Amino acid sequence: MREKSKKQLPLMHLSSDHAQARELKLISRILAAEPTIAGLVHQDLCRGQSLRDTGANGMSAEQVLRAAIVKQMFGYSYELLPFHLMDSISLRAFCRIGIADKGFKKSALAKNIKRISPATWEQINRILVAHGNKEKVEKGRQVRIDCTVVESNIHPPTDATLLFDSVRVLARILDAIRQHGVNLCFTDHCRRAKRRMLAVQYAKKETQRVAAYRDLLKLAGKTVGYATAAIPLANGLPGLAGFGFYAELQRYINLARKVIAQTERRVLKGESVPAAEKIVSVFEPHTDIIVKDRRETYYGHKVCLCVGASNLITDCVITDGNPADTELTLSMLDRQCEIYGRYPLKVALDGGFASKANLAAAKERQIKDVCFAKKRGLEVEQMCRSQWVYNRLRRFRAGVESIISWIKRSLGFDRCTWKGQRSFGSYVWLSAVTANLITLARAKAV
């Protein structure tokens, strides 16, 4: 029988039997089985703060950890995360939110999640890897290693856009200082700087482009001069506001000077500025320039992943700069020994890792079969015990591409939306931890 409407709603909502809800329950059991994880998060949350027995109850370490996993797992923004945590029965149960609890604001969620350090996330990942070894999900006997790039949350950089960013950020800080009652005289050159930036982008002749650059450099230099003169005035403001303005001015003045210097070298003097000396963003100055296979240029950080046969991410390294893959081979193998207490028996690597020195060093570490996707002058008999083993490991290595594709599409591994170098590391490790929890849960569900 079909009714027009439900006359009376049930008093209690029953738990969902959806596949996603069952997966969350399995992840919850894994986290509950490893209480050390919550202890590590609790240390980060309490670091630098005095513990009190009075006052309102904040988020527990377990709730912060689980909320971070939910955010990364479903791709929620901080705006939507509080709503979904309170609206979903499954998410409330997963994050240990009671029926009478009011829930959490987005500011509390963001502040607490960002307090978890990259080192803590790395320790959590190692605990999960040990859990997988104990449950016989991943023993670490056979691993595959490959590199990818996680981009920073910046626009494609040009000298003109960097100069304009420097002008508008410093002008914004100076205007905020003036609104605090400081008698500060300066000229806001944002509109003129924007016109010069657009003139650079759409110039038809080189002479027009250089002329626009010269004027833009002049405006940036004037704005830096205004900001430098405002430093003692900002330092004289009472309270935390003065300290904050002083620190921001110092930071952005130094970055603006570097942008001006590199623009003068490249545009006016015709020099080639090395990638290691370039600044590609005044907001994310830690960003590296990554040229991948001489094809595309990325702006972010190179990340080296080690994945086991069960698709568990056993290790993750965020590199400084753009080192060659051959320089990372031995360090990644040694880290596997730290994690498992022994080296793997079989290793499959991308062709960029191949070299005779790396092969010899891997064999010295009692690794029986080492497969490079591209031989680079190496013989199959030198790498593996037979052609069949080499072909098998080569196909096995290709599976890491699907893992990288999955975490980029589903877990936000393609682009870090958090600000700062420390937060970049936390974001990358959070994605890896979330992927491993899903992998362990699905292995238990089979």
Of all residues in the chain, the percent with pLDDT exceeding 90 is: 78
Q: What DSSP letter does each residue of 88-141 carry, written as one string?
A: -HHHHHHTT--TT-----HHHHHHHHHTS-HHHHHHHHHHHHHHHHHTTS--SS
Q: How far apart are CA 348 and CA 306, in angstroms?
A: 10
Q: Does domain 159-277 have CATH number 1.20.120?
A: yes
Q: How distant is the alpha carbon of residue 374 from its chain centre?
A: 29
- Give the domain ranges of the chain: 19-115, 119-154+285-444, 159-277
Please state the pTM of the whole predicted model.
0.92
Residues 6+ apart with CB under 8 A from 318: 150, 301, 302, 303, 424, 425, 428
Rg (CA), the chain: 27
Q: Does domain 119-154+285-444 have CATH number 3.30.420.10?
A: yes
Q: What is the pLDDT of residues 149-191, one digit of tens each?
A: 999 999 999 999 999 999 999 999 999 999 988 888 889 999 9
119-154+285-444 and 159-277: identical CATH topology? no
Number of H helices, E strands in the chain: 16, 6
Q: What number is the average pLDDT over the span 70-85?
A: 95
Q: What is the pLDDT of residues 387-442, one digit of tens each?
A: 999 999 999 999 999 999 999 999 999 999 999 999 999 999 999 999 999 999 99
Q: Is the pLDDT of residue 320 over 70?
A: yes
Q: How far apart are CA 22 and CA 108, in angstroms?
A: 28
Q: What is the pLDDT of residues 22-56, one digit of tens each?
A: 999 999 999 999 999 999 999 999 887 766 666 66
Nearest to 143 by CA among 319, 329, 374, 411: 329
Q: What is the pLDDT of residues 243-300, one digit of tens each?
A: 889 999 999 999 999 999 999 999 999 999 888 889 999 999 999 999 877 678 999 9
Q: What DSSP letter does each residue of 249-280 carry, written as one string?
A: HHHHHHHHHHHHHHHIIIIIS-----GGG---
Predicted confidence at residue 123, as pLDDT, reads: 97
Nearest to 424 by CA among 307, 298, 301: 301
Q: How distant is the alpha carbon of residue 246 from its chain centre?
A: 28
Q: What number is the average pLDDT over the span 214-238?
A: 92
pLDDT band at 445 (very low <50, low <70, confident <90, very high): confident
Strands 296-308 and 288-292: antiparallel
C-alpha dihedral (392, 398, 402, 403), degrees to nearest 10: 80
The conformation of residue 446, written as its DSSP 8-state character, comes to -
